[in-house]
Structure 1
Amino acid sequence: MLPVHLDRTRPEPLPAQLAAAVRRLVTDGTLTTGDRLPSSRALAADLGVARAVVEQAYDQLLAESWVQTRRGSGTFVASGEALPAPAPPPRPATREPSYVRLDAGTPWIDPRHAAGWKRAWREVSATRPPRGYPDPRGLPELRDALAERLARTRGLTVEPDEILVTTGSTDGLRQLLGALGPGDVLVEDPGYRAAVETVRAAGRTVVDHPALAPVIGLAGCAAAYVTPAHQHPLGRVMPAADRLALLAAARQADAVVVEDDYDSEFRYDVAPVPALAALDRSRVAYLGTASKSVSPSLRLGWLVAPPAAHEILVRRRAVTHDTPPWPTQRALLTLLRDGWADKVVRTARRVYADRAPRVAAAMAPHAELAGPLAGMYSTWLTGPASARAARAGARAAGFDLQLLAEYCRSAHLTGFVLGFGGVTDAELDRALSAIADGLSEPPDQPDPLDQ
C-alpha cells in the first residue's frame, strides 16, 4: 500500500489530499515511471475511506498527466515524457524598498480640492454614455473645452475638430508616428525617456541632439521631438531664434516638429511662453497632457496634429477605436467646466513658487542649477560621484532621487533631477536635508568637477 495519511481535521477535501500525496511520492522518487498504483477498492479499504474518494483523486491525477490507465491492467505512474514539468523550487519573496519618489512628473494636488474630483465622478455616474463607439476624435464637449483652454492659456487657436483626445503624451506621440512617412526621429539629449522608448517601439531610429543646441538640419528625419517651453530635464526655454531655426529645418526636410508642452502652465517667474505650434500649425504637432494639472493616473492628453496627419489619424481611429475611455473624458470635462483644473493649477503654481527657492537654497552650496527655476522640479549639475552620493543620501532617508545621467544617451552630463511636486512640505524638508548631507560627505572617488 501507499505511505499516505489523510487528515480529516484539515479543511482540504480528502480526494485533494490523496492526489497531493501521490504527487509528492512521484516527485521525491518513491514512485517511479511505470509503478502500478493500488486499485481504488484496495486503497480505499487501506485508508478507511469511500472508494469514491480514491476514484476522484485518480481522476484528478489522470487529468494532470501524473498517471496513466491501461485497460484491464490498472493505474500506473506516467512515463517521463508524459509527466508534467516539475515546478521550480519556490524562491523567497524579495520586496523592493519603498521610497517616496522625488520624480519630475508627479504634481501637487491640494487635498482641499478633493470635493471637485468627487463631484466630477458623480456626474459621470449620472450621465448617459454615448450609444455605440464614441467619436474617434474624442468627446465633442471635451474638445470644445480644450480648444477654449488652449486659446486662453497657450495662445493656440484651434477648432475643436482639430483636437484628438489621447491617453497621454506618449500615446499621442505613438499615434502620430504611425501617421508619418518613413524616417528617423530627432530627440533632445538629455530628454524625456518615455518619448525615446515610444520612438524606438514604433520601429524608428532615435537621433540624439544636444538639448541646448539649435536644430539646423533634419535630413533623414520624419520628425523632431522637443520640449521648447521647459526643456526636459535641463529646464531651459527654447530661445526665439532656435524656434525659428527649428521650423526652417523642418520645412526644408518636410519633417514634423512634435512639441510636448508638458508643464508650461507652471511657470512662476514669468508668464507662460506661447506654444511653438502657434508659429506654424501646418508644421508642428502639439501634445498636451492632464497629468500635471489633474493627475497622472487619469491618463488623458490631447494631440493637435498637422492637417495631413490629422486626417490619417481620424480615419484610423474610426476603425481601431483607439480612444480613451468615455468616463475619464467625461470626468475631465466636468473638471474643466467647473474651473477645478484652473484652481488646481493656481494652487500648485503657488506651492511650486514657494518650494523652488527652498530647494535652490539647500542645493546651491553643493551643485550648479542647470536651468531657470520653473515647474515642479529642478536639475542640478554635479560630478558623477557627488550625484551618486546625493542619491545614496536620499535613499537612506526613504526617498528616490533620479540621476541626470539616466536621461542621457550620448550626452555626458551628471547630476540629479529633484522633483518637489509629489511630496508634502515636511517630506521635502527631510529629503533636502538628506540630500545635502549626502553631498557634504567626501565622495568615494575623485569627482571630476572638483579637480
Structure 2
Amino acid sequence: MPPSPALVVTLDRRSARPLGTQLADQVRARITSASLAAGTRLPSSRALAADLGVARSVTEQAYAQLVAEGWLEGRHGSGTFVSAAPPLASTPPTRRTAPAEPGLLRLSTGTPWIDPRHAALWRRAWREVSTARPPAGYDDPRGLPALRAALAERLAHVRGVVCDPDEVLLTAGTTDGLRHALGALPAGPVAVEDPGYRAAAVTVAATGRGVRDVPALEVPDLAGTVAAYVTPAHQHPLGRTMPAAHRVALLASARRAGAVVIEDDYDSELRYDVAPVPALAGLDRERVVYLGTASKSVAPSMRLGWLVAPAGIRERIAHQRAITHDSPPWPVQRALLALLRDGYVDKVVRSARRVYADRAGRVVDALAPYGELTGPVAGMYATFVMPREQALAAHEAGRAAGYDVPLLADQCRTHVRHGLVVGFGGSLDDGQLDHALAVLARALRG
C-alpha cells in the first residue's frame, strides 16, 4: 500500500540494494521530476515506516540522506518538507595574505591520509606493472580500456553515474580534465564559483577565456557563458552541499544558455555522516561534464583522473588527444587498475573515513566556539567563518608555531569571506593536529 497519495513508493525486498537506498532514490526521483513540489510536507518517518511495513530505521536513513543532499529539510515541530534552501550571502572584498613559507606544516585541504596497513597492496600493484607488457606504440588516447571499464562500473555503483566504458576518458587529474573539456567548447567565458577552487579559475584563464565569478552555491544566470564550473557534492572551500532545488535550477539555466556544467566531484566518497551524495551528472548526462580524481583517495602525485562528458565533447577531446598523444602515462593507469581490482582503493577510503570522522570531531570541538561552521564536515577539512581580525590573528599564531592554516579569504576572488579552512588530512599526524588546534584556540580566545 502506498504511504500517501503524494508519496507512492515501491520497495523490492528481493533486491540487493538496501531498502533505505531504494526509498531515498524514489523520493529523489519524485522531487527531480517535479512530482513533489518545494514545500510539500512528507509523512513522518514513523508513519511512513508503518505504511511500508519496514523498520523505522529504514525511513530515518532515507530521510537523513536526502536532508544531507539538500532535497529535504526538517522543520522543528513541523515535520519533513521538500527543500527550497536559500543561497549563501556574500561579503565585501579585502586584501590577501602571503603564501606559505617553506618549512611550515600546512593544514592542507587536499592531501589524503593513507592507511599504512594497506601498503602491501600498493607494492603489489607496482610489481604487477613492472612485469606487464606495455603497449607497443602510443596507447588508446581515451585511456586503458580495462581501467575505463572498471571506472564505469565504480561510477555507477558509488556515484550514480551510469555510463559505458567508452564514455570514460582518463586524464592527468582534475585540472587536466578541465583543460581538455574547455578545449572542446566554443569560445566564451566560464562561470566559476567564488569562493572556490583557485586552480580551476587559473586553468580557465590560462585557456584565454574570461572567468565570471558567481557566488558559491547560488544559481547563476549563465547567459553569455559556455560553461559553469561547480563542486556541488562538497563545495570547496565552504564545505556545503548544493541544495537540490539549486541543482535543478542550475541545469535549467545551463539549458537556456546552451552551456554545459562542469562538475568537479573531487572528494565525494569521503562522507562519513551519510552515504556519498549522488553526482549532479546523474541528473543530466547530456548537459554535465563529470570530473573525478584519484588524488583524494589514492595519492595526488599519481596525477590521474577521469572525465565523463556528452558525446560531442568527448569525441572532440579523443580526436585531439589522438593527434597530440596527450594522455596519462600507461604505467600509472595500469597501477590504478590493479589497485581498484584488488580492493586497495575501497580499503583506503574506508580507513580514511574513520580517521577523518575522528579528526573532524576534534577540530569542531576545538574551534566551533570561535567561528561559524559553514557546513557539515566531510572529507578532510572544516571551514569556519569569523571576523577578519580573528582569522588573521589565528593564522599568524599558527605560522609562528610552525603551521600554515589556510585563510578562507585566500580562496576568494570577488565575493570575499573571512575565516579559516582547517585541513586534517595526511600532511600531519594526530599529535601535530592537536597541537595546531590548541595554538589556534588560544589565539582565537585572545
Could you say which residue in structure 1 is the equivalent of 2:225? 221
Paired letter, 1:158: C
State yes or no: 1:379 paired with 2:378.
Answer: no
Q: State the superposition RMSD in angstroms.
A: 1.1
Return the TM-score normalized by structure 2.
0.76
Cα distance between partner residues in 2 of 1:104 and 1:263: 11
Cα distance between partner residues in 2 of 1:352 and 1:134: 38
Aligned length: 346
Alpha-carbon offset, residue 412 of structure 1: 2.5
Q: Where does structure 2 lack aligned partners over 5 or more consecutive residues?
A: 1-99
Match among 270, 275, 283 for residue 274 of structure 2 = 270
Cα distance between partner residues in 2 of 1:184 and 1:286: 19
Could you say which residue in structure 2 is the equivalent of 1:76? none
Could you say which residue in structure 1 is the equivalent of 2:323? 319
State yes or no: 1:370 paired with 2:382.
Answer: no
Could you say which residue in structure 2 is the equivalent of 1:239? 243
Please, which moves more after superposition, 286-295 or 376-385? 376-385
Match among 308, 311, 317 for residue 312 of structure 2 = 308
1:139–1:330 CA contact under 8 A, matched in 2 = yes
Write out per-residue CA displacement over residues 7-55 of structure 1, whole angstroms, 9 at most, x where no aligned residue: xxxxxxxxxxxxxxxxxxxxxxxxxxxxxxxxxxxxxxxxxxxxxxxxx
Could you say which residue in structure 1 is the equivalent of 2:400? 396
Correspondence 1:171-186 to 2 at 5 A: 171-186=176-191
Could you say which residue in structure 2 is the equivalent of 1:293? 297
Paired letter, 2:311: P
2:397–2:440 CA contact under 8 A, matched in 1 = yes
Could you say which residue in structure 1 is the equivalent of 2:173? 168
Could you say which residue in structure 1 is the equivalent of 2:284? 280
Could you say which residue in structure 2 is the equivalent of 1:121? 126
Q: Secondary structure at the match of 1:334?
A: helix
Write out per-residue CA displacement over residues 38-73 of structure 1, whole angstroms, 9 at most, x where no aligned residue: xxxxxxxxxxxxxxxxxxxxxxxxxxxxxxxxxxxx
Could you say which residue in structure 1 is the equivalent of 2:439? 434
Match among 107, 110, 114 for residue 109 of structure 1 = 114
Match among 252, 262, 274 for residue 256 of structure 2 = 252
State yes or no: 1:348 paired with 2:380.
Answer: no
1:187–1:208 CA contact under 8 A, matched in 2 = yes
Alpha-carbon offset, residue 438 of structure 1: 1.8
Alpha-carbon offset, residue 214 of structure 1: 2.0
Q: Secondary structure at the match of 1:364?
A: helix
Q: Secondary structure at the match of 1:365?
A: helix
Alpha-carbon offset, residue 115 of structure 1: 1.2
Write out per-residue CA displacement over residues 238-275 of structure 1, whole angstroms, 9 at most, x where no aligned residue: 11110110000111111010000000101111111111
Paired letter, 2:373: L
Please, which moves more after superposition, 172-181 or 96-105? 96-105
Cα distance between partner residues in 2 of 1:440 and 1:393: 12
Cα distance between partner residues in 2 of 1:408 and 1:108: 26
Alpha-carbon offset, residue 354 of structure 1: 0.9
Write out per-residue CA displacement over residues 202-237 of structure 1, whole angstroms, 9 at most, x where no aligned residue: 11111111113223x211100000000001110111
Alpha-carbon offset, residue 330 of structure 1: 0.6
State yes or no: 1:151 paired with 2:146.
Answer: no
Could you say which residue in structure 2 is the equivalent of 1:132? 137
Return the TM-score normalized by structure 1.
0.76
Alpha-carbon offset, residue 331 of structure 1: 0.6
Q: Where does structure 1 lack aligned partners over 5 or more consecutive residues?
A: 1-94, 442-451
2:194–2:216 CA contact under 8 A, matched in 1 = yes
Cα distance between partner residues in 1 of 2:332 and 2:311: 26
Write out per-residue CA displacement over residues 99-147 of structure 1, whole angstroms, 9 at most, x where no aligned residue: 1110110111011111111111101101000110000000111101101
1:397–1:430 CA contact under 8 A, matched in 2 = no
Cα distance between partner residues in 2 of 1:430 and 1:113: 27
Cα distance between partner residues in 2 of 1:209 and 1:330: 39
Q: 1:396 to 1:154 in 2, by over 3 A?
A: same
State yes or no: 1:206 paired with 2:214.
Answer: no
Cα distance between partner residues in 2 of 1:436 and 1:218: 41
2:217–2:246 CA contact under 8 A, matched in 1 = no
State yes or no: 1:195 paired with 2:200.
Answer: yes
Q: Secondary structure at the match of 1:378?
A: strand
Cα distance between partner residues in 1 of 2:332 and 2:287: 30
Q: Secondary structure at the match of 1:412?
A: coil
Paired letter, 2:338: T
Q: Secondary structure at the match of 1:221?
A: coil
Q: 1:130 to 1:257 in 2, by over 3 A?
A: same
2:190–2:212 CA contact under 8 A, matched in 1 = yes
Return the structure number with greater relative CO, CA threshold 8 A, min gap 6.
2
Alpha-carbon offset, residue 383 of structure 1: 1.1
Cα distance between partner residues in 1 of 2:102 and 2:354: 32
Alpha-carbon offset, residue 96 of structure 1: 4.7
Q: 1:144 to 1:372 in 2, by over 3 A?
A: same
Paired letter, 1:373: V
The ranges of structure 1 where at least 4 consecutive aligned residues each deviate by more than 2 angstroms after the TM superposition are none
Cα distance between partner residues in 1 of 2:286 and 2:218: 24
State yes or no: 1:142 paired with 2:147.
Answer: yes
Cα distance between partner residues in 1 of 2:364 and 2:324: 48
Cα distance between partner residues in 1 of 2:279 and 2:342: 25
Which is higher, the Rg of structure 1 or of structure 2? Answer: 1
Correspondence 1:57-68 to 2 at 5 A: none
Q: Percent identity?
A: 66
1:191–1:408 CA contact under 8 A, matched in 2 = yes
Please, which moves more after superposition, 250-259 or 107-116? 107-116
